[in-house]
Chains A and B, each alone.
Chain A
Amino acid sequence: MKPPPFGYRAPVTLDEALDALAARPSGKVLAGGQSLIPLLNMRLAAPPELVDINRVAELDTLHVGDGGVRVGALARHTRVERSAAAAAVQPLLRRALRHVAHPVIRNRGTVVGSLAHADPAAELPAVLAVLDGTVDAASTRGRRTIPAADFFVGPLEPALEPGELAVSAYFPAAPPRTGTAFMETARRHGDYAIAGVAAVVTLDDDLRVSAARAGYLGISATPLVLDLTGAAGPHGDWTAAAAHVRDTVDPVADIHAGAAYRRHLTGVLTERALKRAAAEALRKAED
């Protein structure tokens, strides 16, 4: 249970980090290490080189604006979870972060690292996907913005090119009269979820449902986002929306749960989360 040998660089500026990644494109980025180091310890990964970005202070950022929350590559889960400003602009972030592993893991793990790890059972990819967020990637060749819909290519496979570093992620703010909810079921508290859902419901001026979306984790190779506005109808028939989800999803079976159980669970979680999100949207609309 010790990591295999690897080359090691610890840049202190972003430019140095990008140069290091350009010099060894097969190198891996080490941020919080709460997913990568277990893989190294178990020797499931053996990268030739690690580029440790923990000393790149310019990536340790959290910017909250009216339009959304931008999280830098070195911002730890705990920092984002505790930010009252971030929770006010986009409450779904804090709600999902409370399900990420345990508090001690969240002290080191980073939000952007979790996205770049692209685990289909992880919480934050589903949140970024349901919110239509983006990831900014940089390399010595330049910068680009990758929409969530294009960022998650496959299990543990983000749309990052060799030599590219995910420098920040952007979680758009909730529009007015919008409620959110996050729910998941795991075998043990802090484990990866068997299935989970991030729900977003928006009401119009007449308090009819104008948008209902759900992002799923644990049931497909990449985060699945379903638009449930039509299935729920203007008055929010959440039972019908959940039935539609059960008919639509095609969950994978694994050692933790069979496909039929995951399908059932996905329906149950969908109905509960949409109800809770709609209730919050109504409270906000009435304020």
Chain B
Amino acid sequence: MGEAREDTREDTFEDTREDTFDVALTVNGAHRTARVPARRLLSDLLRHDLGLTGTHVGCEHGVCGCCTVLLDGDPVRSCLMLAVTASGHEVTTVEGLAAPDGTPSPVQRAFRECHGLQCGFCTPGFLCTVTALLRETPRPTQDQVLEGISGNLCRCTGYQNIVASVHRAADLIARSAEEGEA
């Protein structure tokens, strides 16, 4: 009985079989590999093939920003990139932002302190975007913050606390840099 069912499944699978490709990339510092069809989106590779469900998928056409990850350090939409294109590159997801011992990064701490999230769906995209923004612009003006997060949508907070979180994160990063020097 069980065997017969398995055979049927295999036949069905045979009909829809696509070419698959090996991808090998560094995700949050670890070497990861998978064999996927060319149409596998990077967002789905991360979530389905690698089990990293911290990257959220909202609109799947580049508008909402929830799926933003860092590709070689730069924020990109993982729903607008094929996994095969990302092969050979270095990806950081929200799971890779905290320290190895689990200590939240300054950006994560700032979002917690300033209530920069409510339901949390958009948060992984904001955290990745803001991490890159502050690396490039350690002391952003209000306009630079608004421009920097303009590609990320949040339906809960009204953005006020998110903007406050970005400024707070800049403070925390500056303080830890000073302590590092002292």
| CB of B134 to closest CB in A, whole Å | 13
- Considering the chains assembled together, what is the distance between the CA atoms of A3 and B38 in angstroms? 9
Q: Does A107 contact B (CB under 8 A)?
A: yes
Whether the pair A104, B151 counts as a contact (CB closer than 8 A) is yes
Kindly list chain B residues whose C-beta atoms are within 8 Å of the C-beta of A104: 65, 68, 75-77, 129, 151
- Considering the chains assembled together, what is the distance between the CA atoms of A286 and B82 in angstroms? 51
Q: Does B41 contact A (CB under 8 A)?
A: yes
Whether the pair A33, B61 counts as a contact (CB closer than 8 A) is no
Interface size range of chain B in the complex: 20 to 34
Q: A2-B44, A6-B38, A38-B61 are contacts. A103–B82 as well, Cβ < 8 Å?
A: no
Q: Does B12 contact A (CB under 8 A)?
A: no
- Considering the chains assembled together, what is the distance between the CA atoms of A34 and B82 in angstroms? 11
Q: Does B96 contact A (CB under 8 A)?
A: no
Please indicate which of the listed interface residues B38, B44, B65, B68 has the most CB atoms of chain A within 10 Å of its own CB: B38
Q: A3-B41, A6-B39 are contacts. A33–B18 as well, Cβ < 8 Å?
A: no
Within 8 A of A (CB), among B52-98: 60-62, 65, 68, 71, 74-77, 79-82, 84-85
* From B37, B75, B80, contact of A5 by CB (8 A): B37
- Considering the chains assembled together, what is the distance between the CA atoms of A108 and B69 in angstroms? 12
Q: Which A-chain residue is minimally distant from B75 (CB atoms)?
A: A104
Please indicate which of the listed interface residues B18, B82, B84 has the most CB atoms of chain A within 10 Å of its own CB: B82
Kindly list chain A residues whose C-beta atoms are within 8 Å of the C-beta of B74: 78, 107
Whether the pair A101, B81 counts as a contact (CB closer than 8 A) is no
Q: Which A-chain residue is minimally distant from B18 (CB atoms)?
A: A5
| CB of A50 to closest CB in B, whole Å | 7
- Considering the chains assembled together, what is the distance between the CA atoms of A2 and B45 in angstroms? 12
| CB of A165 to closest CB in B, whole Å | 17
Q: A3-B39, A6-B38, A190-B150 are contacts. A108–B60 as well, Cβ < 8 Å?
A: no
- Contact digits for A94-116, partner B, Cβ 8 Å, 1 yes 0 no: 00000001111101100000000
Interface of B is mostly: mixed
Whether the pair A42, B61 counts as a contact (CB closer than 8 A) is yes
Q: Does A145 contact B (CB under 8 A)?
A: no
- Considering the chains assembled together, what is the distance between the CA atoms of A286 and B5 in angstroms? 84
- Contact digits for A19-42, partner B, Cβ 8 Å, 1 yes 0 no: 000000000001001100110111
On chain A, the number of residues with a Cβ less than 8 Å from chain B's Cβ atoms is 30
- Considering the chains assembled together, what is the distance between the CA atoms of A103 and B44 in angstroms? 23
* From B19, B76, B84, B151, contact of A52 by CB (8 A): B84
Q: A34-B62, A38-B62 are contacts. A102–B150 as well, Cβ < 8 Å?
A: yes
Kindly list chain B residues whose C-beta atoms are within 8 Å of the C-beta of A108: 76-77, 80-81
Q: Which B-chain residue is minimally distant from A34 (CB atoms)?
A: B80
Within 8 A of B (CB), among A132-155: none
Which residues of chain B have a CB within 8 Å of any CB of chain A? 18-19, 21, 37-39, 41, 44, 60-62, 65, 68, 71, 74-77, 79-82, 84-85, 129, 147-148, 150-151
Which residues of chain A have a CB within 8 Å of any CB of chain B? 1-8, 10, 30, 33-34, 37-38, 40-42, 50, 52, 54, 78, 101-105, 107-108, 189-190
In the assembled complex, 27 residue pairs joining A and B whose CB atoms fall closer than 8 Å, in A order, are A1-B60, A1-B61, A2-B41, A3-B39, A4-B39, A5-B38, A6-B38, A8-B21, A8-B38, A8-B84, A30-B82, A33-B81, A33-B82, A37-B79, A37-B82, A40-B39, A41-B61, A103-B75, A103-B147, A103-B150, A103-B151, A104-B65, A104-B68, A104-B75, A104-B77, A104-B129, A190-B150
10 closest Cβ contacts across the A-B interface?
A102-B151, A8-B38, A38-B61, A1-B60, A3-B39, A37-B80, A104-B75, A107-B74, A104-B151, A41-B60
